[in-house]
Amino acid sequence: MVDILHRVGVKTPTPEKVYDALTTVEGLSGWWTDDTKGNGEVGDVLRFRFPPGGFDLEVVELRPLERVAWRVVDGPEEWIGTTIDWDLRQDGDYTIVLFKHQGWKEPVEFMHHCSTKWGSFLMSLKSLVETGEGAPAPRDVQISDWH
Amino acid sequence: MVDILHRVGVKTPTPEKVYDALTTVEGLSGWWTDDTKGNGEVGDVLRFRFPPGGFDLEVVELRPLERVAWRVVDGPEEWIGTTIDWDLRQDGDYTIVLFKHQGWKEPVEFMHHCSTKWGSFLMSLKSLVETGEGAPAPRDVQISDWH
């Protein structure tokens, strides 16, 4: 099992804004990439595009305010067939976000890059909900020379 | 195998400054925590302290400008016995940093937290080398309510 794991706490009184940011095109384009298309219902495919390429993700599970799960149906070879899960719970003033990107075959260098990049995008999600302003591509935080 | 992996690219002409930031108390205290003590030679123990606690790491390998490896000898129970490796290589204008924190027994919630936190500290290391200013504890980026 080679997984990417992350956890952030978003200061917000209920998981509603975080859930919306993971399940609507408006929300997703506010922290991940400006160029997000599709519908967020189960069985739909969300299409995320970045300057160097993109990902098509099928929504496989939605449990309102608690859980979102995606399956990668197109994108870089290493991503295809992997799954991305988001689990939310409220803990006092914070919505706790547990993130898992599972099913990588090998811990290749690209996986190291994606792990750091996901952490950075989770901080963008946190910022979007807390301040109204995220850092989606192409205004995302640059972590390296990888394009 | 449950590992934390990260990769950043630091804009600098050689790996020298990154290597120094991983092997000297002055360097380490510039990006990880102000409260760093010890010596950076093989067999020595570096003591890192943060407001909520700390880690004692034995330096197990040093390959100048290429590799640094630590073993956790004291700290949170989940960390003890785990290993932290840094591999450096030059790629054009960037020093590529590959990071692995290996040997976690279980993908517990604390591991998710540490993964995001490591990503944030790698960005602090990148900033220290590129700009002269990192974000070590207690001025580190707050990712959640976890103390």
Burial (Cβ within 10 Å: 0-12, 13-18, ≥19) of residue B71? middle
Structure tokens at B126: 């990148």
Place B2 in a pLDDT band, splitting at 50, 70 and 90.
Answer: confident
Cβ atoms of residues B128 and B28 within 8 Å:
no
Shortest Cα–Cα distance, B29 to chain A (Å): 21
Give pLDDT, residue A90. Answer: 98
Cβ atoms of residues A28 and A36 within 8 Å:
yes
Query: For B89-109, what is each residue's pLDDT tens digit?
Result: 999 999 999 999 999 999 999
Amino acid at B124: S
Interface ipTM: 0.96
pLDDT of A54 higher than 90: yes
Q: Give the Cα separation of B147 and B140 in Å (integer).
A: 12
Phi, psi of B12 (to 5 degrees): -165, 145
Q: Give the Cα separation of B23 and A90 in Å (integer).
A: 40
Shortest Cα–Cα distance, A27 to chain B (Å): 20
pLDDT greater at residue A74 or residue A145: A74
Q: How many beta-carbon contacts under 8 Å exist across A and B?
A: 104
Query: For A39-49, what is each residue's pLDDT tens digit?
Result: 889 999 999 99
DSSP per position, B71-129: EEEESSTTTTT-EEEEEEEEETTEEEEEEEEE--SS--HHHHHHHHHHHHHHHHHHHHH
Cβ atoms of residues B8 and A143 within 8 Å:
yes
Place A145 in a pLDDT band, splitting at 50, 70 and 90.
Answer: confident
Query: For B54-92, what is each residue's pLDDT tens digit?
Result: 999 999 999 999 999 999 999 999 999 999 999 999 999
Nearest to A5 by CA among A89, A115, A81: A115
What value does the mean pLDDT take over residues B113-135?
Answer: 98
Cα-only R_g, chain B: 14
pTM equals 0.96
Query: For B11-49, what is each residue's pLDDT tens digit?
Result: 999 999 999 999 999 999 999 999 999 988 999 999 999
Nearest to B143 among A1, A8, A91 (CB): A8
Give pLDDT, residue A107. Answer: 95
Mean pLDDT (chain A) is: 96
Shortest Cα–Cα distance, B7 to chain A (Å): 5
Cβ atoms of residues A31 and A136 within 8 Å:
yes
What value does the mean pLDDT take over residues A54-68?
Answer: 98
Q: Give the Cα separation of A93 and B82 in Å (integer).
A: 32
